[in-house]
Copies of this chain bind each other. A is one copy, B any other.
Amino acid sequence: MTHTARRPTRRPLSRERVLEAAVRLADTSGLDAVSMRRLGTDLGVEAMSLYHHVSGKEALLDAMVEHVGAELNAEIAAHEAAGAPDPAKDWRAALRARALAARVVMLRHPWMPSVLESRTEMSLEVVRYFDGVVAILMAGGFGHDLTHHALHALGSRVIGFTQELFDPGDGEDTSEEVLAQMAQVVPNLMAMLADVAHTDGPEQTLGWCDDQTEFEFGLDVTLDGLERRRELRG
């Protein structure tokens, strides 16, 4: 065995390599693990070397969003090539398909929602995604004004996620005593939870509780409400 084979081949660092490593690190170990120092270690390099490829931590996060945004648009393009609903015929189906396709990408990167929301400058790739959403709504007969309102009403759902408020909780450590106490303080909520008893098997979560069924329900409710507005104004 040679000497050169022993030490890991040190490809020169590149912006692309930095971003791939950062996204992978966030995917596997969570966003908190993404520090300049840790990222440097993963790449076999000093943290300070990263500054030759990204101007700082914030720029790194911007670039990570852009990286996933590109993945997102590639996914959408693939869907469209494979035959997607025609927005002029059925805007609802077209938008629904787009949101669900986006969701697949988002589920691969659970840290994306929170980083996306923390950005002060917005990603060109993500804007491009929204441009496609606008195109669908306009083709569906929404005016500019209603399209604008619709974007706000749909919020993050149109890009495949909803940032839920609570982790539903594992329910493992909730003793009978605690449950009885809760029933006193929040009786309506407890009665509801006892009745619905989530038994849908393993849920796909994105950040917090946000399973597929609830995501689609919320999306459809919003699409229904928008369709009504369109009929009224259109």
Contacts and interface: CB of A to CB of B under 8 A. Distances in A.
Interface of A: 114, 116-117, 119-120, 122, 124, 126-128, 130-132, 134-135, 138, 144-145, 147-149, 152-153, 155-156, 159, 162-167, 169, 185-189, 191-193, 195-196, 207-208, 214, 217-218, 220-226, 228-229
A225 B153 CA distance: 12
A153 B186 contact: no
A188 B155 contact: no
A interface majority secondary structure = helix
Nearest to A134: B188
Assembly stoichiometry (copies): 2
Contacts of A187: 131
8 contacts: A117-B164, A117-B208, A122-B169, A145-B195, A152-B217, A155-B163, A155-B218, A222-B222
A134 B189 contact: yes
Contacts of A159: 165
B117 A165 contact: yes
